[in-house]
Structure 1
């Protein structure tokens, strides 16, 4: 039973890491959602403590929201001790999620009719802790309004103004007016709310608003796009600067961009731009990789990596080039971690900056090439659809592990960025080498540690201890 529990939880963590319920190259969105829904129901029903503990792992925001919603909807099934720990995990997880994802979660709780005391307390505490509630009111107006109505909260219960703003009482009164009354007052004392009011008739006030809000007012006033973008530039986030490809701000944005997001941006650029900006982009990727590697830089010995840039690495229309971006980011991170690094792309290419999806997936041949370099570590970043010829990669790894390296002298791990809805897991190459789901290349060092649980040798006790440790560190990081 313990071994079955460990296997079930490893399978669920892989799914919660990789699946976003969206279309993938080999499966439709409906298949992804149905598979994920079954897994959540099964794991929550059988392993509630471990199910809640997954919130402390490096899973994606969709699955964090699904876990939170299910735990809150089934509060009556939990013991007092379980509810206490779940409340802390949920609060901490919501604190690190993007606010738009949290407001979407609150909307889903409202639609599902989940409105117990614990839900209302969690919503109240999250809203009260927001650093700028006037900003939320302007940027996420409908989400905030729905959350307050659903939990029967008033602005007075959550209002907390920045040091330079008006008093809590003034903000609470003006938030109520802004959110729930149809007529605006002659003037707001809260600066951002006043800018929103003035932006209805005064173009200059548009540039005091968040970009996504200001964009609508700019269209209303007929402001030229070039003029609008030039003046709204100080209000852009780093990601908005990159999306708009604002060359003046790109250098600053790249310098602080997380590694996988940066790789995604690079792959979105035309080949000509990548060539023209080769030095800038390569330096930014390597700097992000060094930040991620931290104290482990250069400590992994000889590393050989098989990196999948086959046609299926395109992903889908909604997750465009995501698998390839993880491979490109992985290339630069492993380069930083290794003392000696041998990258082997399935296409035979040698320039990660010019990577693009193409051709079949000859994983078996590339794995043979990698092993010929006698590495200390072999890492494979691929969706696992080995097809040139089919099954060769798994057979190579099986024979090598059992006959050439049965003592596991070489650490070999398959990292898969794609959820296989039919198998309720990531697609594996062989049972002789662990396969784990990967969301961002930044998670790679942690996943290498987690991979040992997929080999069936550590069992439930080891997995439970790992979860307990991750929960403790997650809660202490708040």
Structure 2
């Protein structure tokens, strides 16, 4: 028999996980950035103060980078409040999550810890170990110079030799540097050719200082671009008629690729239909892996209403998630039935427009008697209001009480006022989603959000995710 405290803890954990997946503290279509940050701050403080072990364990779940860094900071700021057993469990989780975060975000976290005066032995050890594990210290020193300097000072590290000289006294070394990147950085101050030996983000500053033509710069720096830099610069290179920047779109993460597609004008999407569709399908098949074609008859209700425009900070993000889910579900399904709210049948030409008639589209989907129904929407059912929830309630209570059709609602938007993502019906599990790639794991997590599953099963699920997360490091 589970206690009331266990049930409350399970509900609180799921509430926090939904927020940690979807919210980044930025403006959403219906809420200001201040509201998002205040709501998120409260949840972090509440869960850390009441469920420290679970707070740390969420580092192993599919939360976004913003909240992963927030959790690490919270654990390190309150290190004195943790028991030896808690610190022992938190250390590997923090180390593993930091290894997965983009380096610029980790350096930002270290600067925040320094400004907050968090300089306990544990923080210094974590900083030291993370820096020691970096695959190319010279590249970090050039690309994230201020971040490396701040981290080294904060952790009281002695950096001898060329690395220390480059970071703290780069212009006093008369003999130059033997490390190629360091020497290229030194020469780039007066030599145009040297800047093309540097990473793009560093070389761009030198190019601007030297007044180098943009087209000429892009053409010569192209071999040094990373995969994501190629994506960001693809259209700029096209405008300047520069070849060699394009790269392989299919190799990009699915949601990032969907965002790129949606940023293109409709005419460009139509003209490049074959290329873009092939890339999205290849990324989806890679994400689906061995599960491809195993989900049976799948229907999806996909939101492309006006609210999927998102905000200035998260432009078209909800629509990009829906587009990514479209192609991933197509790969997972044996039989695929996509239903966009607008009624359009061409996913590649999706754009934010119109109201949110979820109820009508859910009815259309259920008529197909699918094995799975997946709804990707912010949940603001407004044409007419509340119809989707009523349809789903009646369906589950009277027409499919045996649960032959599995229904799950994935919501890409955090509702700051309610400290949760908006739900359609009590009978339907709802979970937050940040990236379409996480869809299979989130569908599994959704079973715990209805209150029908024992809290012990949720703890077992979290423990299994933690073990798998730490095992990946080996």
Name the TM-score class by shorter chain: over 0.9
SS in 1 for 2:431: strand
> Can you list the C-alpha shifts for 1:335-355, whole angstroms capped at 9, x where unaligned?
111111111100111111000
Look up the match of 1:436.
Answer: 431
Cα deviations by residue, 1:236-263 (Å, 9 ceiling, x for unpaired): 1111111111464566330210111110
Residue of structure 2 in register with 1:167 after alignment: none
Does residue 254 in structure 1 map to residue 218 in structure 2?
no
The question of whether the paired residues in 2 share the 8 Å contact of 1:6 and 1:459 is answered with: no
Contiguous gaps of at least 5 residues in structure 1: 156-171
1:307 aligns to 2:302 (yes or no): yes
| 1:270-313, Cα deviation, whole Å (9 max, x unpaired) | 11211111000000000111111111111111111000000000
Q: 1:284, 1:429 → 2: CA distance?
A: 33
Q: Which residue of 1 aligns with 2:288?
A: 293
Structure 1 segment 324-473 matched on structure 2, within 5 A: 324-473=319-468
Do the aligned partners of 1:303 and 1:340 also contact (CA within 8 Å) in 2? yes
8 Å CA contact retained: 1:241, 1:249: no
> Where does residue 37 of structure 1 map in the other structure?
41
User: CA contact under 8 A between 1:2 and 1:459: conserved in structure 2?
Assistant: no
Whole-angstrom distance in 1 between the partners of 2:16 and 2:172: 49
CA distance in 2, matches of 1:282, 1:436: 28
**SS of corresponding position for 1:200:** coil
SS across alignment from 1:422: helix
Paired position in structure 2 for 1:476: 471
What corresponds to 1:204 in structure 2? 193
Does residue 15 of the first structure (1) align with residue 19 of the second (2)? yes
1:57 CA displacement: 0.5
Equivalent residue number for residue 142 of structure 1: 146
- Please name the residue that 2:68 is paired with: 64
Over residues 50-73 of structure 1, what are the superposed CA-to-partner deviations in whole Å (9 max), with x where a residue is unaligned?
110000001000100010000011
Structure 1 residue 150: deviation in Å?
1.4
* Structure 1 CA distance for aligned equivalents of residues 314 and 30 of structure 2: 12
Q: Does the residue aligned with 2:313 lie in a helix, a strand or coil?
A: coil
Indicate conservation of the 8 Å contact 2:233/2:245, yes or no.
no
Query: d(CA) in 2 for partners of 1:339 and 1:268?
Result: 30
The TM-score, its normalising length taken from structure 2, stands at 0.96
Distance 1:326 1:428 in 2: 17
User: For structure 2, which runs of at least 5 residues remain unmatched after alignment?
Assistant: none
For residues 331-390 of structure 1, what are the alpha-carbon distances to aligned partners after superposition, in whole Å with 9 as ceiling and x for unaligned?
A: 001111111111110011111100000000000000000001110100000011111111
Structure 2 Cα separation of the partners of residues 45 and 95 of structure 1: 26
Give, in angstroms, the shift of residue 183 of structure 1.
Answer: 2.7
Report what 2:209 is aligned to: 220
Corresponding residue number in structure 1 for 2:316: 321
What is the alpha-carbon root mean square deviation over aligned residues?
A: 1.0
Mark the CA change 1:229 to 1:250 in structure 2 (over 3 Å): closer, same or farther. Answer: closer
Equivalent in the alignment of 1:189? 178
Contact 1:239–1:253, Cα closer than 8 Å, also in 2: no
SS in 2 for 1:303: strand
Name whichever of 145-154 and 35-44 sits farther off.
145-154
Q: Secondary structure at the match of 2:375?
A: strand
User: Is residue 2:49 matched to residue 1:49?
Assistant: no
- Distance in 2, matches of 1:209 and 1:292, equals 32
SS of equivalent to 1:283: helix
Tell me, in whole angstroms, the C-alpha distance in 2 between the residues paired with 1:249 and 1:405. 55
Give the alignment's TM-score, normalised by structure 1.
0.95
Work out the CA distance in 1 between the residues paired with 2:467 and 2:112. Answer: 29
- Quote the Cα distance in structure 2 between the aligned partners of 1:117 and 1:131: 24
DSSP-derived class of the 2:389 partner: helix
Q: Does 1:243 align with 2:232?
A: yes
Structure 1 residue aligned with 2:274: 279
